[in-house]
Structure 1
Amino acid sequence: MERVRALSGDSSAVPLSLDRLVVVEAAGQGDYEPLRPDVILAFHELCLVRDDGEWFMGQLDDDGSVICWASYGSDLVEAIRSL
């Protein structure tokens, strides 16, 4: 986590538990597809979610769920730079 905090510049970045709903918005369909993440990293209200080796950017909702809007590829460093 220290590396993630250093790369992001967010000293409050934390891993989140996986026991929550995580979805990605299907492009142009207004629908959601469920993700099965093995890692969720929170940067205040933004999150990076890893599903099948791919990092998705999303937002932590008030109910604890995460709604993602796009994949940022398989490189965590590149995904963090997109924050």
Structure 2
Amino acid sequence: MAGAQLPAGWTLEQIRDVSGDREAEVFSTDRAVTWLGRSGKDERLYPQIILRFHELCLVKPANGEDWYMGSLNEDGSVDCWSAYGSLYEALRGL
């Protein structure tokens, strides 16, 4: 899958264990991702990693350390609405 990679130091099994989602998967980064920024306007994120949990996704942008939670749209894009300082925290927030 183009652009699909695991976070450094994590296995897919660990991600599934922490999230509680046995079907969690690494997802292609070849898609539009937006974040409703502090300005109240959508900001484009350039994903380095996307993890999919059914209709929810966790996105790590290429230019940052935070993880963004969002929903997967029918067209394959992702709209994010919250941010977490660590992957573990984001996985527990699902």
Q: TM-score, normalised by structure 1?
A: 0.91
Matched with 1:57 is 69
Secondary structure class of the residue paired with 1:12: coil
- Percent identity between the two aligned chains: 48
Matched with 1:10 is 21
Q: CA RMSD in A?
A: 1.1
**What is the correspondence of 1:37-76 to structure 2 with a 5 Å cutoff?**
37-51=47-61, 52-73=64-85, 75-76=86-87
Instruction: Provide the C-alpha distance between the structure 1 equivalents of 2:84 and 2:93, rounded to a whole number of angstroms.
Output: 8
Q: TM-score, normalised by structure 2?
A: 0.81
Instruction: Provide the C-alpha distance between the structure 2 equivalents of 1:78 and 1:72, rounded to a whole number of angstroms.
Output: 6
State how many pairs are aligned.
81
Instruction: Provide the C-alpha distance between the structure 1 equivalents of 2:89 and 2:47, rounded to a whole number of angstroms.
Output: 18
Runs of 4+ that moved beyond 4 A? none
> How far did 1:3 drift?
0.5
Q: Which amino acid aligns with 1:39?
A: I
Gaps of 5+ in 2: 1-11
Instruction: Provide the C-alpha distance between the structure 1 equivalents of 2:76 and 2:67, rounded to a whole number of angstroms.
Output: 19
Matched with 1:33 is 43
Instruction: Provide the C-alpha distance between the structure 2 equivalents of 1:59 and 1:28, rounded to a whole number of angstroms.
Output: 20
Q: Which amino acid aligns with 1:78?
A: E
